A and B are shown apart, each in its own frame.
Chain A
Amino acid sequence: MDVSPTDLVGHGFLKGMAGEQLAALATCGAGYRSYAEGEFICREGANADEFHLIEHGLVALETTAADRRSLVMVTLEGGEVLGWSWMFPPYRWYFDARAVAATRTLALNGALVRAACQNDPQLGYELTRRIARVVIERLQATRLHALDLYNTHPPRK
């Protein structure tokens, strides 16, 4: 299906982006995707040819332990962006992403977005800046997460 700039304008990740840039991104749209509870959005190691703007729902980024138990690293919600493996070779998903609740996303084609950014460095800069911001926020959260703040048995100072 076709994606129009109006589909993009309301998403938190693209908030405030210029009209012509939204229009350029819209041409890279791969369409809306719906995932039932428990359904995988992407699998570790698979081709990352798309990324997702989450409209609503709850998505767990996870990996599988030796006992096949899934370990959830973080969950993402409506308004957040899922996936940045499409940006750099080898374009493969690093983790699993699974819908914890019924989830709807707007998928964008990674190759097309890369090409669009190549053609329009201003779009490329704007998108990279937005992704960098998301990466920084997730990294800061991950660092706090790594501190294991509620561990009741921390090593004694």
Chain B
Amino acid sequence: MDGEAILEYTDLSQLLSVLHGYGYTVIGPTLRDGAIVYDEVETLADFPVGYTDVQDAGTYRVARRTDDAVFGYTVGPHSYKQFLHPAVVSLWEATRTDGEMTIRTTPAPGAKYAFLGARSCELHALAVQDRVLYQGAYPDPVYAAVRESLFIVAVNCAHAGGTCFCVSMGTGPHATSGFDLSLTEVQGEGAHYFVVEVGSERGGEIFRQVPHRAANADESAAAERVVAEVAGQMGRTLDTDDLRDMLYRNLEHPRWEEIERRCLSCGNCTLVCPTCFCTTVNDVTDLSGQHAERVRTWDSCFTADFSYIHGGSVRASVRSRYRQWMTHKLASWIDQFGTAGCVGCGRCVTWCPVGIDITEEVRGIRLTDGALSGQP
């Protein structure tokens, strides 16, 4: 297919049907418990049509829009990592008989997902997780199984959230790659349609089965305007100039102590972060003692146990745990994986119960670059 195409609002459900026809479990935004989350969607009715979200440091509210926008909000507490890198997963099961031990990989659920409504920051988060869990020397089999059958329908944001800073991180708002199809929602003067870009052969194959027509120049221009406007509406900014080295040379900055006074070390930021990948494992047995299982769960660098070695926790203070988290996202991640671990989605800012704002903390450190904490 050449150029962009138009998918009418009324035909969006056709796209859903085709995806279902291909055997995909379609994951889309849906309204639940006062938040827009990601879950299985069957029809357009499952989408939060006419809703938006209002976000700021430590606050999140869902609100009615005055129109019927399907994607008129940004990102909620969920990210796609719960599907690719599940919060709880069995890695293997073992049996013991007559002094022998047999260990077998727990069969993967084998889910074939289509993500419908993935924002540019989400696609970048996926790319970041790919580097960590998929493209290294030891690809994670759980992640790989889902990743390899993934179909992605991106959506260009038509609205920036109060805690968004993808423009600063170079991760949005325009989805430029990493999708099979991308949609830009356009409304006005009685029209309501999606400008569609095809990003892969598979995307083209699927889209050919959905009613559509070629976009004209005005329609394409309208879509470009939507994205350009959003880029100017970012709720937050983060100066990334020299960021890694700036943080490395400020490991003993007094700001960490100030953060410590507010940080509850609850780990919310790590749970909502679309790139945080840390896990722990629990080895369990059944009552007979002949069956064992290793279960992997998400872990957080904010717990004391996280860095435990014999004798105690390496990061005993909350300040050192926040420092670990933030410097990992914005500095050491670059050394480890060639990219920052932050995509500017703003979730950690929104979902922090005390409203600690990573962009504000970076600004605070930068402002007194080189200051030293009086405490050892």
Q: Which residues on A are within 8 Å of B, measured CB to CB?
A: 152, 154, 156-157
Contacts and interface: CB of A to CB of B under 8 A. Distances in A.
Contact of A154 (B311, B313, B316): B311
Nearest to B316: A157
Contacts of A152: 310
Interface in B265-317: 310-313, 316
A70 to B, nearest CB: 31
Contacts of A156: 311-312
Contacts of A154: 311-312
Which 6 interchain pairs have the tightest Cβ spacing? A157-B312, A157-B316, A154-B311, A156-B312, A157-B313, A157-B311
Nearest to A157: B312
A157 B310 CA distance: 10
Interface size class of B (residues with CB under 8 A): under 10
A155 to B, nearest CB: 8
A154 B312 CA distance: 9
SS of B interface (majority): loop
9 contacts: A152-B310, A154-B311, A154-B312, A156-B311, A156-B312, A157-B311, A157-B312, A157-B313, A157-B316
Nearest to A152: B310
Given A156-B311, A157-B316, 7 more contacts: A152-B310, A154-B311, A154-B312, A156-B312, A157-B311, A157-B312, A157-B313
A156 to B, nearest CB: 5
Interface centre among B311, B312, B313, B316 (most CB of A within 10 A): B311
Contacts of B313: 157
Interface in B82-131: none
Contacts of A157: 311-313, 316
A152 B310 CA distance: 8
A75 B39 CA distance: 70
Nearest to B315: A157
Interface centre among A152, A154, A156, A157 (most CB of B within 10 A): A157
Nearest to A156: B312
Nearest to B317: A157
Contacts of B310: 152
Contacts of B312: 154, 156-157
A72 B165 CA distance: 64
A56 to B, nearest CB: 39
Contacts of B316: 157
A126 to B, nearest CB: 36
Interface in B300-356: 310-313, 316
A82 B313 CA distance: 41
A14 B253 CA distance: 46
B71 to A, nearest CB: 48
A35 B288 CA distance: 68
A123 B25 CA distance: 89
B324 to A, nearest CB: 16
A30 B171 CA distance: 81
Interface in B233-262: none
A152 B313 CA distance: 15
Nearest to A151: B311
A77 to B, nearest CB: 32
Nearest to B313: A157
A156 B304 CA distance: 12
A154 B310 CA distance: 9
A152 B316 CA distance: 19
Nearest to B304: A157
A152 B311 CA distance: 8
Nearest to A153: B311
Nearest to B311: A154
B249 to A, nearest CB: 27
B129 to A, nearest CB: 33
A156 B308 CA distance: 11
A156 B313 CA distance: 8
A38 B313 CA distance: 45
A156 B314 CA distance: 11
A83 to B, nearest CB: 36
A157 B307 CA distance: 12
A66 B316 CA distance: 40
B166 to A, nearest CB: 39
A43 B147 CA distance: 77
Nearest to B310: A152
B172 to A, nearest CB: 42
A157 B313 CA distance: 7
B366 to A, nearest CB: 32
A43 B311 CA distance: 40
B251 to A, nearest CB: 19
A152 B312 CA distance: 11
B65 to A, nearest CB: 51
Nearest to B312: A157
A96 B85 CA distance: 66
A97 to B, nearest CB: 35
